[in-house]
C-alpha cells in the first residue's frame, strides 16, 4: 500500500469526506528538507467534510494532523491542506 493510499484510508475513516483529493507533490521538493528518493514525503490534500463545519481553519488542520499523526511522525514530511465544509467549495 502506498502512503497516498494510507492517507486516503485514514482520512476517509476519520472524516467521511464528500470529496477528497490527494496528490503526491514530492517531486517538487527534491533536494529540500525531508525529501527522499522515491517520494511519498510531501502531499497536497483537499478534503470536504461535514466534520469541519463551524471549525476554524486551524482547528480543521489540527484535526487532519491528528488523524495522520503516525504518518507525520514517520515518513511524511509535509502536507499542504485545503479543508472545507460542505458549501464552501469554489
Burial class (CB in 10 A: 0-12, 13-18, 19+), 47: buried
Predicted local confidence at residue 72, as pLDDT:
93
Query: CA quadruple 18, 53, 64, 88: dihedral positive or negative?
Result: positive
pTM of the model: 0.85
Q: In whole angstroms, what is the distance from residue 60 CA to residue 65 CA? A: 9
The separation between CA 77 and the C-alpha centre of its own chain, rounded to angstroms, equals 11
Query: What are the extents of the domains in the chain?
Result: 3-30+41-84
* CATH match of 3-30+41-84 with 3.40.50.300: no
Predicted local confidence at residue 40, as pLDDT:
73
pLDDT tens for the chain, 90 residues: list them.
899 999 999 999 999 999 999 999 875 545 555 555 556 788 999 999 999 999 999 999 999 999 999 999 988 888 999 999 999 975
Predicted local confidence at residue 39, as pLDDT:
60
Amino acid at each position: 500500500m502506498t502512503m497516498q493510499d494510507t492517507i486516503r484510508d485514514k482520512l476517509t475513516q476519520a472524516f467521511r469526506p464528500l470529496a477528497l483529493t490527494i496528490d503526491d507533490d514530492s517531486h517538487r521538493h527534491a533536494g529540500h528538507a525531508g525529501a527522499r528518493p522515491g517520494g511519498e514525503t510531501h502531499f497536497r490534500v483537499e478534503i470536504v467534510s461535514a466534520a469541519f463545519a463551524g471549525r476554524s481553519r486551524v482547528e480543521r488542520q489540527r484535526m487532519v494532523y491528528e488523524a495522520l499523526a503516525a504518518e507525520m511522525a514517520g515518513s511524511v514530511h509535509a502536507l499542504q491542506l485545503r479543508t472545507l465544509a460542505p458549501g464552501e467549495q469554489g
